[in-house]
Amino acid sequence: MSDARTPLIAGNWKMNLDHLQAIAFVQKLAWTLKDANHDFDDVEVAVFPPFTDLRSVQTLIQADRLELKFGGQDVSTHALGAFTGEISGHFLKQLDCSYVIVGHSERRYRHVESDETIAAKAKAARDSGLVPLICVGETAKDLERHEPSAVPASQLRGALIDFKPGDEFVVAYEPVWAIGAGAAATPDQAQNVASVLRRVVAQMIDEETAAKTRILYGGSVKPDNIVGIMKCPDVDGVLVGGASLDVETFASIVRYKKHATF
Ligand code: PGA
């Protein structure tokens, strides 16, 4: 983590919490962080609920003037039209989403999304005024054949093809072998790949963008490993799956600075 970049702690709910549960969750999270005097300018917090929750989350956040950010978990490559079941970036923007996740491994592998599709989604998000949160990461099999950063770096090169200086995006390095596994990558492993990904941003766009871009780590992040991860100089936050579904646990991750000195 560098002082030049505001850390982002993001909760990817995946297909969990319906819209009523989402309201209760966001309310409780906001109260918990308020009670703890959390400074949202110091550590940004975002949640990624299912599409059907977004309107409820938006209404609550606006009515109560909460400082939480939110976003969608996926976006269509298209802006409008005959694409049954898809959600346009424009619709997400209209709901005041700040971010959208693209290229999560569950979409890359279960929904067979290619690097080209992910590049088109990242572009569609950017063109709609959203900040794409681009996920990259290697599988255990990739690790047998390549060095750890090879696949994530190549996925990031593919995703950034249409990006130029000044475009805002977030990168999440999520080793697929660590997602939902219980054991995260070590801080050294996370740092090594994150630093290569920052070089990729510099090569694909420019040094200034690379210095500004936040690179998150994701995969079995918990309160007991967050401090080590956040001490990595090139890791600027985390994308949390399972541990983001419990308010106390997620709030404890958000408040990682309270557990150590930085
Ligand atoms: P996990 O998921 O924290 O449950 O490992 C992370 C993710 O898939 O984004």
Q: Give me the pLDDT at residue 168, please.
A: 98
- Looking up tokens 């999520």 gives 174
pLDDT of 225 over the 90 cut: yes
- Whether 259 sits among the annotated catalytic residues: the reply is no
- Whether 67 sits among the annotated catalytic residues: the reply is no
Q: Give me the pLDDT at residue 262, please.
A: 76
Q: Give me the pLDDT at residue 260, please.
A: 80
Tens-digit pLDDT profile for residues 62-72: 999 999 999 99
Tens-digit pLDDT profile for residues 146-161: 999 999 999 999 999 9
Say how far apart CA 224 and CA 221 lie, in whole Å.
8
pLDDT of 259 over the 90 cut: no
Tell me how far the alpha carbon of residue 81 lies from the centroid of ligand 1, in angstroms: 32
Tell me how far the alpha carbon of residue 80 lies from the centroid of ligand 1, in angstroms: 30
Instruction: Name the residue of 8, 12, 110, 250 whose CB sits within 8 Å of the most ligand 1 atoms, as the mutation to test its pocket.
Output: 12
- Of the candidates 205, 211, 257, 208, the one whose C-alpha atom is nearest the C-alpha of residue 234 is 211
For 230-237, what is the mean pLDDT? Answer: 98
Confidence class of residue 3 from pLDDT cuts 50, 70 and 90? confident
Say how far apart CA 59 and CA 74 lie, in whole Å.
20
For 35-40, what is the mean pLDDT? Answer: 96
Tens-digit pLDDT profile for residues 52-61: 999 999 999 9
For 61-87, what is the mean pLDDT? Answer: 97
Decide whether any atom of ligand 1 lies within 6 Å of the 233 Cβ: no
Which residue has a Cα nearest atom 1 of ligand 1? 241
Active-site pick, 38, 44, 104, 113: 104
For 125-145, what is the mean pLDDT? Answer: 97
Decide whether any atom of ligand 1 lies within 6 Å of the 137 Cβ: no
Tell me how far the alpha carbon of residue 113 lies from the centroid of ligand 1, in angstroms: 18
Q: Where are the alpha helices (DSSP H) in the chain?
A: 19-35, 54-63, 89-94, 105-110, 115-127, 140-145, 150-159, 187-204, 207-212, 226-230, 247-254
Decide whether any atom of ligand 1 lies within 6 Å of the 180 Cβ: yes
pLDDT of 261 over the 80 cut: no
pLDDT of 104 over the 80 cut: yes
Tens-digit pLDDT profile for residues 175-188: 999 999 999 999 99
Tell me how far the alpha carbon of residue 78 lies from the centroid of ligand 1, in angstroms: 27
Decide whether any atom of ligand 1 lies within 6 Å of the 160 Cβ: no
Decide whether any atom of ligand 1 lies within 6 Å of the 221 Cβ: yes
Confidence class of residue 228 from pLDDT cuts 50, 70 and 90? very high
For 213-233, what is the mean pLDDT? Answer: 98
Tens-digit pLDDT profile for residues 21-37: 999 999 999 999 999 99
Q: Give me the pLDDT at residue 4, please.
A: 86
pLDDT of 2 over the 80 cut: no
Q: Give me the pLDDT at residue 219, please.
A: 98
Between helix 54-63 and helix 19-35 the angle, nearest 10°, is 30
Confidence class of residue 162 from pLDDT cuts 50, 70 and 90? very high
Cα–Cα distances in Å, from 59 out to 9, 31, 71, 234? 21, 16, 14, 35
Say how far apart CA 101 and CA 97 lie, in whole Å.
11
Decide whether any atom of ligand 1 lies within 6 Å of the 12 Cβ: yes
pLDDT of 241 over the 90 cut: yes
Give the nearest ligand 1 atom to 105 CA: 8
Q: Average model confidence (pLDDT) for the chain?
A: 97
Instruction: Note the pTM of the prediction, 2 decimals.
Output: 0.97
Decide whether any atom of ligand 1 lies within 6 Å of the 218 Cβ: yes
What is the dihedral sign for C-alpha 25, 260, 188, 195? Answer: positive
- Residue 140 one-letter amino acid: A
